[in-house]
Amino acid sequence: MSTIETILSRMMNEPVFAESVFADAEKALTEYELSAHEIAKFKGISRADFETLTSSAPEERKSLATASNNLGRLIVGVDRV
């Protein structure tokens, strides 16, 4: 699992952590070795997009990995399947 996927998984499972990322991504993500570009991407993710992708029914998103991959593409702008 990549660092981005780890962070996204943690955001999905720990609402307090997710809120801290939305409030101040740079501070919340200090424990991770991220580039300024990666931190900027987290700063740019909208709460609405995050919630849309994570709140869909399990059968719609198929798995945490699928949701994480979709969020990863949203954050890092990579079209990988």
* CA distance linking residue 77 with residue 42, whole number of Å: 11
Q: What is the pLDDT of residues 10-53, one digit of tens each?
A: 998 999 999 999 999 999 999 999 999 899 888 888 888 888 87
Domain boundaries, the chain: 3-76
* CA distance linking residue 72 with residue 67, whole number of Å: 8
77 within 8 A of 63, measured Cβ to Cβ:
no
Q: What is the number of other CB atoms lying within 10 angstroms of the CB of residue 20?
A: 15
Question: Span 53-76, mean pLDDT?
Answer: 55
Q: How confident is the model at residue 69 (pLDDT cuts 50, 70, 90)?
A: low
Residue 54 is predicted with a pLDDT of 75
Residue 52 is predicted with a pLDDT of 82
79 within 8 A of 73, measured Cβ to Cβ:
yes
Residue 65 is predicted with a pLDDT of 45
Q: What are phi and psi of 7, to 5 degrees?
A: -65, -45
